[in-house]
């Protein structure tokens, strides 16, 4: 299943680096953080789980990080950083599902994460656990609805409660923009496929 998926991803123009652990993926990520580049972020539990999000926030090699997750910024600044990330040299995020036919399937709320995967940033790095591979697009949509979106809704509502706000996140606010990408310019998108169950 994994080898078939990798072959089809490569056939569709995606570069795939297959690693065993999140630590290996983190180590590979550092090679892309060359001096002075700009980096955009898309919401990804996987990027956080492998320690990459914390590392990026130290701004290694003098990178410019468009970090919409920085505490204390206004919603206006949050939106501005999402927009800046769409024109970054490097965009780092995850993926909700990858089909065995080599397609990337995602759902998003604000849309910056899926937009960046399609066009904008010069280079895209996707960090994806092995648990995201599914047989086909139908299974991808089922996975997004029953796993990824469900867990994200739970996480966001819990965060709202902790902040003293009423939980208000639902399917329409978390996953209302769907994309299916079955190809890209060779070399633009690199998928770091990790032999671990990571993210949502």
- 128-174, pLDDT tens digit by residue? 999 999 999 999 999 999 998 888 878 777 877 877 888 887 777 77
Phi and psi at residue 140, in whole multiples of 5°? -65, -45
Enclosing H/E stretch for 128: strand 123-129
Domains and CATH numbers, the chain: 2-194 (3.40.50.10420)
**Arithmetic mean of pLDDT over the chain:** 94
Under 8 Å between Cβ of 123 and 86: no
Give the pLDDT score at 193: 98
Give the pLDDT score at 180: 97
Give the pLDDT score at 157: 79
Residue-wise pLDDT tens digits, 60-91: 999 999 999 998 999 999 999 999 999 999 99
Give the pLDDT score at 199: 92
Residue-wise pLDDT tens digits, 83-113: 999 999 999 999 999 999 999 999 998 899 9
pTM of the model: 0.93
Categorise residue 128: left if φ over 0, alpha if ψ from -120 to 50, beta otherwise: beta
Under 8 Å between Cβ of 38 and 90: yes
């Amino acid at each position: 299943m994994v080898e078939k998926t990798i072959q089809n991803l490569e056939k569709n123009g995606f570069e795939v680096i297959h690693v065993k652990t999140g630590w290996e993926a983190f180590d590979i990520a550092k090679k892309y953080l060359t001096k002075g580049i700009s980096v955009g972020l898309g919401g990804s539990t996987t990027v956080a789980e492998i320690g990459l999000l914390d590392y990026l926030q130290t701004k290694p090699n003098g990178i410019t990080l468009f970090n919409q997750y920085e505490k204390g910024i206004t919603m206006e600044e949050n939106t501005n950083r999402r927009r800046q990330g769409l024109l970054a040299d490097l965009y780092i995020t995850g993926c909700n599902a990858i089909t065995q036919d080599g397609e990337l399937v995602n759902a998003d709320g604000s849309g910056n994460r899926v937009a960046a995967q399609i066009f904008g940033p010069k280079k895209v790095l996707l960090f994806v656990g092995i648990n995201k591979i599914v047989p086909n697009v139908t299974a991808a949509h089922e996975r997004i609805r029953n796993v990824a979106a469900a867990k994200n809704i739970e996480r966001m509502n819990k965060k709202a409660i902790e902040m003293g706000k009423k939980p208000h996140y639902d399917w329409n606010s978390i996953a209302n923009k769907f994309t299916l990408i079955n190809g890209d310019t060779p070399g633009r998108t690199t998928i770091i496929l990790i032999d671990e169950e990571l993210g949502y």
